[in-house]
Amino acid sequence: MRPGGVPSDQLGRVPNGDDPSVLAVPASAPRGFYNVEHLFAPRFGFSYSPFKDDRTAIRGGIGLFYDKPEGNIIFSQLNLPPFIQSSTFQSGNLANPSGGTAGAASLLGVTAIDPRLTVARTTNYSLGVQREMPWGVLLEVSYVGNQQRHILRQPDINLPTFEQIQANAALATPLNVNLLRPYRGYTSIRMYLSDSTGNYNGLQVYATKRKGDFIGTVSYTWSKSLADSSGLGANPDNWRDRGYNYGVADFDRRHAVAATYFYDSPFLRNRSGLLGTALGGWQLSGITRAQSGPPITILAGSPYGGKVGNAAGSTSITRRADRVAGVSLDPTNPNQFFNPLAFAAPSPISPGTSGVGSLTGPYVFVTDLSLRKTFKLPRENMGLTFQADFFNIFNRANYSLGNLGNATLTVGSGNFGGFGSASNPRNIQFGLKFNF
């Protein structure tokens, strides 16, 4: 809302603009939810050819980039008082809904935006060497990195401290957790903060061949991404200790290899007759991808039955598991991916000793192939194209340790330590296309 509220000549046009609760917003309210920044985004890059043969180039650069805040962080504010009013009535009827008894007042859970919000920014930098190799191969080796600052996260800032929750849970009769909250009268306050940081460092190797009957690319990346928050709602219970939450990001994949290839067979390519028609002119293409598994954080449930506090004001405790000293992660039977005894629930006064992303999930290996050929028909400009596609041709089972995309596991839950679901098995499809 602009300072001073809605102008008097616009009250009839703005929805709810003349509502008393809207007009009650102080005239000194700031413009916007957070201050507008005037940003400077410098760039610097260079390219240098050190040898006379002009087959080698050294390239590098650095730049400062900004992330424009999305509307999603603001839209949630439109559903809060004073813009939205909610009334509850008991024993009412459709003819007169408000004729019932007013419901008991309840605490309010809201979302909020830190008025000191700062636009997220990333400093990207790279240094690479490119070399033209024999047989039409281009080779590139690069170091790529970035530093991320003021990343958004959305913890519950109205959650009592971890120490308060633990001490309250240990009481014979725990207090209503709402009595421990910093801001009385509210339950959760999910506030957008811009205080998270992250970084990425990677070695990238890339080669491509673009001439001849065989063309293709191959790339390899060895990288590591660290952050103290991988998502908006990450680490909600111990959110004040960013150092405790710093570790491998959920989206980190330490090793990644990808290859694409296309082979236009010269065998009997220009041969006419039945032999050339049947065996000549076939093309093979494919993609092979292999990468490390996702980092997984091992969690532990609450030692107090999952909730602390009475029914009117309870909250869950999310802690990380303890890594059991001296116990190997190696599985003890073929049905396990890791030894479940390597992790245990921590003591009631500990948030857990295992690190963020302390376990790496199963790696992925997939190869997709396509085989095709065009048959010319006797009539000019007509032909048939046959194609066979093989997805995951080697039928490899690529497992996850839970639902696909999960970044956490909980000690003792389900098939803890065992393999979870697998991605799609081998799929084959055939196609025939008439060209005219």
Q: Please give the pLDDT value at position 199.
A: 96
Domain ranges of the chain: 1-31, 45-435
Q: Please give the pLDDT value at position 186.
A: 85
CB 20, CB 31: distance < 8 Å? no
Tokens 């049947």 found at: 278
- Identify which of 286, 288, 290, 280 has the alpha carbon closest to the alpha carbon of residue 262: 286
Q: Please give the pLDDT value at position 307.
A: 46
DSSP secondary structure, 63-79, as one string: EEEE-PPPTHHHHGGGG
Instruction: Please provide the distance, in angstroms rounded to a whole number, between the alpha carbons at the two ends of the chain.
Output: 62
Q: Please give the pLDDT value at position 255.
A: 97
Q: Please give the pLDDT value at position 126.
A: 97
The two tokens of residue 125 are: 């930098």
* pLDDT tens digit at each of 436 positions of the chain: 445 556 667 666 666 556 666 666 666 656 677 778 889 999 999 999 999 888 999 999 999 999 887 777 877 777 776 666 667 777 767 777 666 666 656 677 788 888 888 999 999 999 999 999 988 899 999 999 999 999 988 888 888 887 787 787 778 888 887 888 888 888 888 888 999 999 999 999 999 998 888 999 999 999 999 998 876 554 546 778 888 888 899 889 999 999 999 999 887 777 766 676 677 788 999 999 999 998 988 888 665 444 444 444 444 556 788 999 999 999 888 888 899 899 988 876 677 888 888 889 899 999 999 999 888 777 777 888 899 999 999 999 888 876 544 567 788 777 788 887 888 899 999 999 888 8
Q: Please give the pLDDT value at position 206.
A: 97
β 108-113/101-102 pair status: unpaired
CB 30, CB 12: distance < 8 Å? no
Q: Please give the pLDDT value at position 144.
A: 97
Tell me the fold of 45-435. Answer: Maltoporin; Chain A (2.40.170)
- Identify which of 141, 104, 145 has the alpha carbon closest to the alpha carbon of residue 124: 145
Q: Please give the pLDDT value at position 48.
A: 95
Question: If you ran DSSP here, which 8-state letter would residue 345 be given?
Answer: P
The two tokens of residue 428 are: 């084959």
Q: Please give the pLDDT value at position 308.
A: 45
Longest dimension (CA), the chain: 92
The two tokens of residue 97 are: 């809904």
The whole-model pTM stands at 0.79
